[in-house]
Amino acid sequence: MAEDYDYDLFTIGAGSGGVRASRVAASHGARVAAAEEFRVGGTCVIRGCVPKKMLVYGSMFAEELGHAQNLGWTIEGKSFGWATLRDFVNADVDRLEGLYGQTLANHEVEVFAERATITGPHSVRLSSGREVTAKYILVATGARPAMPQFPGVEHCISSNEVFHLARQPQCLMVVGGGYIAMEFAGIFNALGSEVTVVNRTDRILRSYDEQIVDRMLHIAMGRGIDFRMHSQIKSVEKDADGCLQVDLGGARPVAVDQILIATGRSPNTEGLGLENAAIELGKGGEIPVDEYNRTSCDSIYAVGDVTDRVQLTPVAIREGHAFADTVFGGKPRTIDYSAIPSAVFSQPPLAGVGLTEAEARRVHGDVKVYSSDFRPMKNIFSEHPERGLYKMIVDETSEKILGIHMIGPEAPEILQVAAVAVKAGLTKQAFDDTVALHPSMAEELVLLK
């Protein structure tokens, strides 16, 4: 690498994509430094999917304990303490942050715990005032919660703050119709909070199969979540006792003690100095890149949620790895964004891979839909008659599987394996030829009619 620069690579942002790119580049022999102004680990590890999934696990105990008696268990004096769960989750986040930092240290990546801004195609300035040069710069600053503008929005919180609440809200309003909104609505509903979901349209989880989403909505309503569709917050006023009065445009305001805004995420590009390298942003503030993660400036690359592609942690990790292999490993490669599995850890969870039924009909015309609508065995112990639903969308001519979508207990765990079949281009016959594993929920995938 050129000795004219302080480093071969300077990474701005030490989240999942930035950490992977930095350590792989270092393993290829590059001299690497990274700047992180908050905490090493990024959104997923610090205040996103990892701690959120822990809260999901904690909240699921409420339902399990609810029908424990039918399983022969007598549990006396049961109670829930939000502070205990919150503190345990945050302690494990601290542990994971340490592991991420150790990974960088083990690969001799120098970490600056401060903000860095771009001053040119090969230079950055740290908040301490130090100027650093690098042959290549990688932007991996991720995204942040997008907050709408209305009077009283300062009384609301985002997903960043929800992990640190001093008390569990008794009445929670969740604003949004995406996966973050649905997951936190499910968590606090299961923990006993009164939950209202406010969404500006009549659709939630737009990227998922409509039939699966409809089933989730029906189950969520049956569990007591109140959905206010075609609604938007006009204003919020805080009473002297801390109660929040929410104006939704109706005759009377809705009183809650916490409002969680989950209406999307915005790329962290503000004040990053990209204009100093003649890099223009997209209409949403994202950084446009080519298939090799390169921006319009040849020496600056970007990966993860700060770009205009798929906002998922595993995708950011793959992009970071591909960047390092391409630029420093002599192995140019790109990412295939087709058939990426995803899940919503609602209660019950839903998951999908490939085309939804609507997308498949729009793209391929004639398709076959196979499904199984069943009551999972574990649900017979519950008072809720909730049913699972698995769907397989198949091209009518070739019988190639175009998509698999499901809702039910452990759906994401089952879907991950099924996603391999979709990615590999298998046909439904391959599933039909596979012997069922009985009794299991997963066997429904090889028994679809």
- Annotation: binding site: 53, 176-183, 264, 305
Give residue for tokens 């997951």.
183
Radius of gyration of the chain from its Cα atoms, rounded to whole angstroms: 24
CA distance 257 to 252: 16
Is 438 part of the annotated catalytic residue set? yes
CA nearest neighbour of 160 among 61, 48, 85: 48
CA dihedral 191, 192, 193, 198 (to 10 degrees): 80
- Give the residue numbers of the binding site for FAD: 53
Q: Are 13 and 24 in contact (CB under 8 A)?
A: no
- List residues forming the annotated binding site for NAD(+): 176-183, 264, 305
Residue 146 has phi, psi (to 5 degrees) of -85, 125
Contacts of 5 (CB under 8 A, 6+ apart): 122, 133, 134, 135
Q: What is the 3-state secondary structure (H, E, C) of 212-231?
A: HHHHHHHHHHHCCCEEECCC
Half-sphere exposure of residue 252: CA atoms within 13 angstroms, side-chain side:
3
- Environment class of 444 (CB within 10 Å of its CB; exposed 0-12, middle 13-18, buried 19+): buried
Q: Which residues are catalytic?
A: 438
